[in-house]
Amino acid sequence: MKKNLHRFYVPQENIRDNTVILPAEHGNHIKNVLRMKPGDGCIVFDGTGFEYEIQLEKIYPEPEGRIISRVIAGTPGRIKLTLAQGLAKGDKMDLIIQKCSEIGVDTFIPCRSERTIVKVDLAGAAKKQERWQKIARSAAEQSHSTTVPVVAPVADLNELFKQVTPGQLAIIPWENEKTTGLKNILRGTAARDIIVFIGPEGGFSDKEITAAKYAGVIPVSLGSRILRTETAGIVVSSIVRYELD
């Protein structure tokens, strides 16, 4: 399969027999930006580990193509990585979701906590979730991932603590943790299901750390430097993938 071809995500239900119908959102990009024409080839992936090389037969508004070949492009990472990210101001969440999707986070859970500055109502939260899901999908296309990260609805931090399960490694970087380092925890675990809690701009309160410990979440140190919220998730996700994958 030619890896230099343009690559797009297609829902599994859009692949029927020998035909692939790309979502309409790709139509304008394919026609006016990439200037592709009928007969051109591209790669599509369905998020389940399969990739398809197709020959485009229709360009706009919904691109459509004929399958030339199908391969199992890869399997998901050996671990399942969830990032419970405190809601951050401005476009920081866009950056976090984009970069951590490239790194290999499987699930994002934006969460409200005691020191969260961002306020969102139900309608606003739904719109943000839709936007973040598109960012995750675009990052998966760009990074040649075979799966698309899931962006969950905005959740309450304390409710997430209650959902930590036995056998899951749950860690929470905290600037006041002085004895337990992230490296030591990762090198001593056999867990394949990892959840990382990252605080908002104001960090976690002592009350939240107490609740985390009670739920089995392990506070860890990232060293002597204090990282911004948009940096911490990227750094920790990279380290987890490096150590455990």
Q: Are residues 105 and 129 in the same domain?
A: yes
Q: Per residue in 74-129, pLDDT tens?
A: 655 579 999 999 999 989 999 999 999 999 999 999 999 999 888 877 678 889 99
Number of domains in the chain: 2
Domain that holds residue 178: 80-244
Q: Determine, yes or no, domain membership for 2.
A: no
Q: Determine, yes or no, domain membership for 17.
A: yes
For residues 94 and 145, give the distance between their C-alpha atoms in angstroms, rounded to a whole number: 18
Identify the sign of the CA torsion 133, 138, 198, 91: negative
**Which one of 49, 72, 95 terminates a domain?**
72
- Rounded to the nearest angstrom, the gap between the alpha carbon of residue 183 and the centroid of all alpha carbons in its chain is 22
Q: Are residues 94 and 62 in the same domain?
A: no
For residues 141 and 126, give the distance between their C-alpha atoms in angstroms, rounded to a whole number: 23
Q: Are residues 55 and 153 in the same domain?
A: no
Q: What CATH number is given to the structural domain containing 67?
A: 2.40.240.20
β-strands 107-112, 64-72: how paired?
A: unpaired
Cβ(222)–Cβ(236) below 8 Å: yes
Q: Are residues 86 and 141 in the same domain?
A: yes
Torsion of CA 166, 113, 89, 125, to 10 degrees: 80
- In this prediction, residue 25 has a pLDDT band, given cuts at 50, 70 and 90, of confident
pTM value > 0.75 = yes
The string of DSSP letters for 25-48 reads HHHHIIIIIS---TT-EEEEE-SS
Q: Per residue in 175-208, pLDDT tens?
A: 999 899 999 999 989 999 999 999 999 999 999 9
